[in-house]
Amino acid sequence: MAGRNHLYIPGPTNVPNEILNAMHINMEDHRSPVFPKLLTPLLQDLKKVFKTETGQAFIFPATGTAGWEVALTNTLNPGDKVLIYRFGQFSHLWAEMAKRLGFDVEIHQEVWGKGIPLDRIEARLKEDTNHEIKAVLATHNETATGVTSDIGGVRKAMNAANHPALLFVDGVSSIASLDFRMDEWGVDGAISGSQKGFMMPAGGAFLAFSQKALAAVETSTYPRCFLDLKDQMNTNKDGYTPYTPALPILYGLRKALDLLQEEGLENVFARHHRLAEGVRKAVAAWGLTTCAQPGFESDTVTAIIVPEDKDARDVISTAFSRYDISLGAGLSELAGKAFRIGHVGDMNDVSMLGAIAGVEMAMLDNGFDFKPGAGVAAAIEYYRSTAN
């Protein structure tokens, strides 16, 4: 089909041509004396995106899923208890991973559409007077429901409970696009991936760990090798890697960090908020609602609930086959009930208006009832009133 596919899934996101070019490189010797000139600044600058000065950043030639595993297997011991609030497919998958890896996973079910309940987590941690819970697993941005949790609040709850558990955060679809403050919020392990806010293809897991977490690495007896943090630390300190690095990921990250710095992280966050808000205005104009309940709306992805007599899969299918738009599907219990518009990464106003207009066509084709152009009009008015 002629014309670019219009990609509005919440990852992989649109990769700027500059980043693709930066990844189009001749190979080089990763054991050469000049290789550290690439890796060392990369690890330093990556810390800025996590907003950590005291922590340490890591790059694995893998994906965000591997990042989840790194956090668990490098800091905990087999059978350790971890606490997780589950409110979407990705928090579900992380919980499942922890179970499969042999941890004692205490799962609290939260309604899909809300985030981590701060009061209840505080209460639960207070109950844990023996400090059996070794880690809290928190999904910052639940990509499946378009919900953002208050990670600073989680830390406050932990502090209020005076609980020593480690705080691990899935920031795959938040870091580099939503405000994230590792040091300020007391995050012990933050996990991100290349294919969302970093605007790169998948294939890089970007992580940061606090000194407290790194101390736990020393004592963890969990078997691991490919995803071992100590191997990384031992080689990264001299600017090298424990095994062959994925060079395009490193060079792509160099460019991504440069682009983020050039725009300014706070401007990046503000842009994502504006773009998301425009989408939400359109949703309201269509007479629909988001999966996210008020106060939990994500600025990187919006899950839109369709009327009960509709199947969201039809919207996605029509959008893809008739209009070459890729939307995110409703996952698991949202299958058929919601579709998702990603507004993360290399996006601007007109990108989102294309998405909104395209979604309108797909919904109208499927008999949705609203005035054509209503969503676009609402978004236009919002974008105009907030443009620089």
Binding-site residue ranges: 340
Structure tokens given for 58? 């890591």
Cα 15 to Cα 196: distance, rounded to the nearest angstrom: 9
Q: How many residues does the chain have?
A: 388
Min separation Cβ 371 and its own copies, Å: 7
Which residue positions form the known binding site for substrate?
340
Q: Which is closer to its own copies, CB of 48 or CB of 99?
A: 99
CB of 3 to its own copies, least distance (A): 3
Residues 87, 154: Cα–Cα separation, whole Å:
15
**Can you give the chain as a three-state secondary structure string?**
CCCCCEEECCCCCCCCHHHHHHHCCCCCCCCCCCCHHHHHHHHHHHHHHHCCCCCEEEEECCCHHHHHHHHHHHHCCCCCEEEEEECCHHHHHHHHHHHHCCCEEEEEECCECECCCHHHHHHHHHHCCCCCEEEEEEECEECCCCEECCHHHHHHHHHHCCCCCEEEEECCCCECCECCCHHHHCCCEEEEECCCCCCCCCCCEEEEECHHHHHHHHHCCCCCCCCCHHHHHHHHCCCCCCCCCCHHHHHHHHHHHHHHHHHCHHHHHHHHHHHHHHHHHHHHHCCCEECCCCCCECCCEEEEECCCCCCHHHHHHHHHHHHCEEEEECCHHHCCCEEEEECCCCCCHHHHHHHHHHHHHHHHHCCCCCCCCHHHHHHHHHHHHHCC
**Of the two residues 32 and 109, which places its CB atom closer to its own copies in the complex?**
32
Query: Which of residues 22 and 217 has its CB atom nearest to its own copies in the complex?
Result: 22
C-beta of 208 vs 250, nearer to its own copies? 250
Considering the complex, state which of residue 7 and residue 158 has its C-beta at the smaller distance from its own copies: 7
For residue 182, the minimal CB distance to its own copies (Å) is 23
Minimum distance of its own copies from residue 277's CB (angstroms):
15
CB atoms within 10 A of CB 68: 26
Both structure tokens of 370: 């609203």
Least Cβ distance, residue 46 to its own copies (angstroms): 18
- CB distance 21 to 151 below 8 Å: no
Q: Which is nearer to its own copies, 132 or 226 (CB)?
A: 226
CA distance 282 to 376: 6
Residue 30 or 156: which CB sits closer to its own copies? 30
Minimum Å gap between C-beta 316 and its own copies is 9
Q: How far is the CB of 283 from its own copies (least distance, A)?
A: 15
Q: CB 384 → its own copies: shortest distance, Å?
A: 5
Whose Cβ is closer to its own copies: residue 295's or residue 372's? 372
Closest separation between CB of residue 328 and its own copies, Å?
8
Nearer to its own copies, 122 or 228 (CB): 228
- Report which residue type is found at 145: T
